[in-house]
């Protein structure tokens, strides 16, 4: 009797093991740490008063769900927004009678023209959306929350506490989020990947952190923010955002050494904190260690592909190296993720200034101001 040809057993086993390892890595990939610039899981989502396309104003209290509210920031010019909207329509239809509400906030631009409103309504009709569609004219709420990418989803409980956040609409991340929604609304246990997604800082630490943020916003009390952020860290040693805020505070005051220490503290507590990684990278780039900075940015982008600073800092790094093609690619990627982020234009301006292209630098800075002033 002849024996049939077979793949060596060892090779098959190794291939299978490699596939399993890859799947495991994908399923348990460290969660994106930089969905929002002003908020994180455990904090309270701010209220809003935004108009529907009909012009009728709505608040979070009026549109929120008894058990869970999904706030979806989206744009008609962003490719994944329709996928997110369509998926949420299905979730809404399934769970609306179980205390689930969805609010879609269009953050498509500073000014909302009649044509833009028409596009929003057309999208709603095409996708058969039945949840409220609000328009964030002036992008006030967008900036209040600190949205980085579009689409971005925030899930909040009945007390408006953020329980989940997702930047962009990645394949696996969006499935995890849908699983989380189902688990909460059906009172089922959550998967391990979801449970480890966020750390809830202590209430006292959150209060102190909010005091720091309010000090910064007030302008005249801004210097007092340092004390509040430090107290927030004292109140909860695991709370990372105060370190990020302190780092940015010191950077604005030109103290790069203190800023570097704060970002290092953040990374010591949360090694995958993409904000700390990108800010540390920028410090390296500014100190002339461009290649080192770019390597850190590449690592950061692989952790969170939707955090725009990692791209526009990268644009600056490539520009400093004379690689204008890759610099342009980085800025383009950043604009695809968040066309409303005027920092992209600021860093473009910086990059063009570095390469002595004055006219392009002027154009970029002008665009940044137009976005800030809602003149675009």
Of the candidates 14, 19, 227, 291, which one interacts with other proteins according to CB under 8 A? 227
77 vs 140 by CB, closer to other proteins: 140
# residues contacting other proteins (CB under 8 A): 37
68 vs 361 by CB, closer to other proteins: 361
Of the candidates 18, 195, 291, 372, which one interacts with other proteins according to CB under 8 A? 372
Interface with other proteins, residue 326, by CB under 8 A: no
SS (H, E, C) the chain: CCCCCCCCHHHHHHHHHHHHHHHHHHHCCCCCCCCECCCCCCCECCCCEEEECCCCEEEHHHHCCCCEEEEEEECCCCCCHHHHHHHHHHHHHHHHHHCEEEEEEECCCCCCCHHHHHHHHHHHHHHCCCCCEEECHHHHHHHHHCECCCCEEEEEECCCEEEEEEECCCHHHHHHHHHHHHHHHCCCCCCHHHHCCCCCCCHHHHHHHHHHHHHHHHCCCHHHHHHHHHHHHHHCCCCCHHHHHHHHHHHHCCCHHHHHHHHHHHHHHCCCCHHHHHHHHHHHHHCCCHHHHHHHHHHHHHHCCCCHHHHHHHHHHHHHCCCHHHHHHHHHHHHHHCCCCHHHHHHHHHHHHHCCCHHHHHHHHHHHHHHHCCCC
Least spacing, CB of residue 346 vs other proteins, in Å: 6
Interface with other proteins, residue 105, by CB under 8 A: no
What are 170's two structure tokens?
């990645």
Of the candidates 221, 238, 271, 332, which one interacts with other proteins according to CB under 8 A? 221
Of the candidates 13, 204, 214, 302, which one interacts with other proteins according to CB under 8 A? 214
Least spacing, CB of residue 372 vs other proteins, in Å: 5
Interface with other proteins, residue 114, by CB under 8 A: yes
Interface with other proteins, residue 237, by CB under 8 A: no
Stretch of residues binding other proteins (CB under 8 A), selected from 14-22, 76-84, 183-191, 351-359: 351-359
Contact code string over 327-346 relative to other proteins, x by CB under 8 A: -------------------x
Stretch of residues binding other proteins (CB under 8 A), selected from 14-22, 32-40, 175-183, 363-371: 363-371
Of the candidates 3, 220, 237, 322, which one interacts with other proteins according to CB under 8 A? 220
Give CA–CA dist 289/272, Å, rounded.
21
Least spacing, CB of residue 118 vs other proteins, in Å: 11
Least spacing, CB of residue 373 vs other proteins, in Å: 5
22 vs 373 by CB, closer to other proteins: 373
Residues in contact with other proteins by the rule CB under 8 A: 111-114, 117, 137-138, 140, 211, 214-215, 217-222, 224, 227-228, 252, 346, 349, 353, 358-359, 361-362, 365-366, 368-370, 372-375
């Amino acid at each position: 009797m002849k024996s049939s040809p077979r793949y060596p057993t060892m090779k098959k086993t190794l291939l299978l093991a490699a596939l399993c390892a890859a799947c495991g890595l994908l399923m348990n990939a460290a969660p994106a740490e930089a969905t929002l610039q002003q908020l994180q899981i455990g904090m309270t989502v701010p209220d809003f008063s935004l108009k529907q396309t009909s012009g009728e104003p709505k608040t979070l209290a009026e549109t929120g769900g008894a058990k869970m509210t999904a706030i979806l920031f989206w744009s008609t010019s962003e490719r994944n927004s329709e996928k997110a909207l369509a998926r949420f329509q299905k979730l809404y239809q399934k769970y609306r009678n179980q205390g689930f509400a969805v609010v879609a906030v269009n953050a498509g631009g500073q000014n909302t023209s009649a044509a833009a409103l028409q596009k929003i309504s057309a999208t709603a009709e095409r996708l058969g959306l039945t949840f409220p569609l609000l328009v964030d004219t002036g992008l006030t709420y967008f900036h209040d929350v600190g949205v980085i990418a579009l689409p971005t989803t925030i899930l909040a409980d009945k007390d408006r506490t953020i329980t989940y956040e997702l930047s962009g609409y990645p394949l696996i991340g969006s499935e995890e989020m849908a699983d989380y929604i189902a688990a909460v609304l059906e009172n089922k246990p959550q998967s391990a990947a979801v449970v480890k997604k966020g750390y809830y800082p202590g209430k006292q630490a959150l209060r102190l952190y909010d005091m720091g943020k309010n000090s910064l916003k007030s302008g005249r009390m801004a210097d007092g923010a340092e004390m509040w952020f430090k107290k927030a860290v004292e109140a909860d040693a695991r709370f990372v955002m105060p370190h990020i805020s302190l780092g940015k505070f010191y950077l604005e005051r030109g103290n790069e050494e203190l800023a570097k220490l704060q970002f290092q503290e953040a990374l010591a507590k949360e090694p995958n904190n993409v904000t700390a990684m990108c800010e540390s990278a920028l410090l390296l780039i500014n100190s002339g260690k461009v290649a080192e900075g770019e390597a850190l940015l590449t690592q950061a982008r692989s952790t969170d592909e939707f955090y725009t600073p990692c791209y526009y800092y990268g644009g600056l790094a490539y520009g400093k190296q004379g690689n204008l093609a890759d610099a342009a690619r980085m800025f383009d990627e950043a604009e695809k993720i968040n066309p409303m982020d005027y920092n992209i234009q600021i860093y473009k301006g910086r990059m063009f200034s570095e390469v002595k292209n004055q006219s392009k630098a002027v154009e970029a800075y002008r665009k940044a101001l137009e976005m800030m002033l809602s003149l675009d």
